[in-house]
Amino acid sequence: MLRLLLLYLSGASWARRIVMGWGLARRVARRYVAGETEDDVIAAIRVLNQKGITATVDILGESTADAAEASRYAEAYLHLIERVSAEQLKSSVSLKLTALGLGVDPAICHDHMRHILDTARTHGINVTIDMEDHTATDRTLAMLRRLRAEGYENVQAVIQAYLFRSEADIATLAEEKVDVRLCKGAYREPASVAHPRKSDVDAAYVKLMKLLLDAANAGGGYPGIATHDPAMIAATRAYAEQCHISLDRFEFQMLYGIRPALQEELARAGYGMRVYVPFGTQWYPYFMRRLAERPANLWFFASNLFRG
């Protein structure tokens, strides 16, 4: 119930206005968000790189309301890509199609994506299309496939294990040799489309992880196993060892600010380790979804609130 409440609040405009008005909330959010400016995120990525950890950087924002706002996001990504390259940082970028106008006009979104991918390809940078709630899944995968058909091999996918459809999606993407980030899923979804119980999500995650590693071992895409769950990490390590899958055929991925010691431990052990580093002024929905994922995150927020 607590998770559902927090996920509801992540999309509530009245709650956004209240929380974003708290200076304390902004300070606590910095645990999960690298900051509000490009300089902030560049500094955060540099620190990660110094620890042998790569990054993927996301400008926070989703569901833009008009073409002008979508254009501003696209320009921000173009500038960010140039900056990452100029600073010689080891980082890809991640983005949401609704931030680039998918809900306003798919043609606008497509034009922005082509421009971003052209610029990224020039600098040898990959672009991951983040997955949003289930209502955007078909449109997101359709855009991904359209772009790949146009020759953009530097665009990658995200699949959420809690959706019933994900096994079929991963099978198809594996055949197409698309790089896939596998995550559990962080949106409030109806039981008609997603596993409602954590145990079922965990079982689905392990099954999908094995499908991705098998495909990678056979020369398919390069999977990112995105989890902070020690059981999921142990299962991945055990399966890779059992099937003699080289450590350069996949990587682990985690979120900025969550289990940093474990991130460093995996990097030292020789695993690819990539951290998803978000930044920007539109941090509220992302912050609330992080609170919903683990009760400990909420208690961390509350303890800081009461200290204030």
Residue 249 CB neighbour total at 10 angstroms:
19
Active site residue 40: no
| Catalytic site includes residue 294 | no
Residue in 148, 181, 289, 290 annotated catalytic: 181
Q: Which of 58, 130, 169, 202 is catalytic?
A: 130
- Side chain identity, residue 119: T
Catalytic residues: 130, 181
